[in-house]
Amino acid sequence: MLQTKDALFECLAAQDGFISGELLAERLGVSRSAVWKAVGELRAEGCRIEAAQNRGYALRDPGSRLSAGRIQALLRGRAADCRVLVERAVDSTNDELKRRAAAGCPTGTVLVAERQTGGKGRLGRSFYSPPRGGLYMSLLLRPALPASECMAVTACTAVAVAAAAEQICGRRAEIKWVNDIMMDGKKLCGILTEGALSAETGLFDYLVVGIGVNVASAGFPEELREVATSMFGDVGNPPRDRVAAAILNLLFEKLETLPQRTFMDEYRARSCVIGREITMTDFSAGGEQVTARALDVDDDGGLVVETASGVRTLHSGEVSVRVRKSKEEQSE
């Protein structure tokens, strides 16, 4: 159940202009003093709420806070069947949604958080998750798929995120195998797909697709500014609701083609790895570093590389890949 301040924010976000305190109290089933208190709490969080005598309250900067209602209203096609939930803070949207999945949460549930206290990436790495500047979102799916399809789902998600980011901010988005979206040579987004398999069928009981996008870079620590970027730079309240909806709309559209793998052509076209020299860390071989050339990405999302010992296909859990700079890039 939503707290009063969260329910109040949703009411104000859905309202075009002023709405009286009396009507807000009636809609929320609380007293007018509870409305006044909730307005104060939202203002303390940075929301710009205007108050006018005999007119009530109006939200002047809706982008200051995520709104489940606004995201839901922007969803189209298959994505419109999603149920969007917004939390102020969670340890990790993936971990929280996995707990809810285990308790029977339905497919199509989307969990978005203002901030993560324990955001994580692939191979257990931490994921920087400050409030306001990022979009931290996880989607629950219950597909009848074997574990071998997990990388294809991640690849499909990468294509959707890259296309949505490029569509919204007008800058070229590329994909660094297996789960990073890049802009201007820096990381924009990370994707983490996790799931639980049924021992009886060998198919996924559920999949949770986690997406972390740097929508704004205000507050980035100095060390991150060297390797990470954002969609809108140092802005205060970026359009995170719009970004979330655009990603979900494209993702559900592309998931329809998962069996045919038609999205893989776009994945390969967006790859910043294919044709490049890479350094791969092979965790299955005790962390050994090997230089290779990336030749292709196959239809299941595996990276085809050529090393001194021959051609092989890499899979997500086995390696970490770093693209080596060309001589031209080193001289810049």
* CA dist., res. 308 & res. 290, Å (int): 9
The pLDDT, as a whole number, for residue 15 is 82
List pLDDT tens digits, range 244-260. Answer: 999 999 999 999 999 99
Q: Which tokens in the block code for residue 313?
A: 């296909």
270: pLDDT strictly greater than 70: yes
* CA dist., res. 228 & res. 213, Å (int): 10
Mean pLDDT across the stretch 19-30?
Answer: 93
CATH 3.30.930.10 residue spans of the chain: 68-270
The pLDDT, as a whole number, for residue 10 is 83
Largest CA distance in the chain: 78
Average pLDDT, the chain: 88
Chain-centroid distance of CA 187 in Å reads: 13
The dotted CATH code for 277-331 is: 2.30.30.100
The dotted CATH code for 4-64 is: 1.10.10.10
List pLDDT tens digits, range 277-296. Answer: 998 877 766 777 888 999 99
Which one has a higher pLDDT value, 110 or 221?
A: 110
List pLDDT tens digits, range 115-145. Answer: 888 765 555 565 665 666 889 999 999 999 9
CATH 2.30.30.100 residue spans of the chain: 277-331
- Return the CATH class of domain 68-270: alpha beta
Mean pLDDT across the stretch 59-74?
Answer: 83
- The alpha-carbon radius of gyration of the chain (Å, integer) is 22
Question: What pTM was estimated for this model as a whole?
Answer: 0.83
Backbone angles phi, psi at 250, to 5 degrees: -70, -35
CATH 1.10.10.10 residue spans of the chain: 4-64
Cα 199–201–202 angle (5° rounding)?
Answer: 65
The pLDDT, as a whole number, for residue 211 is 96
Q: Identify the burial level of 293 via C-beta atoms within 10 angstroms of its C-beta, where 0-12 means exposed, 13-18 middle and 19 or more buried.
A: middle
* CA dist., res. 100 & res. 106, Å (int): 9
Mean pLDDT across the stretch 218-226?
Answer: 73
With b for 16 or more beta-carbon neighbours within 10 A and e for fewer, the 229-260 pattern comes to bbbbeebebbbbbbbbbbbbbbbbbbbeebee
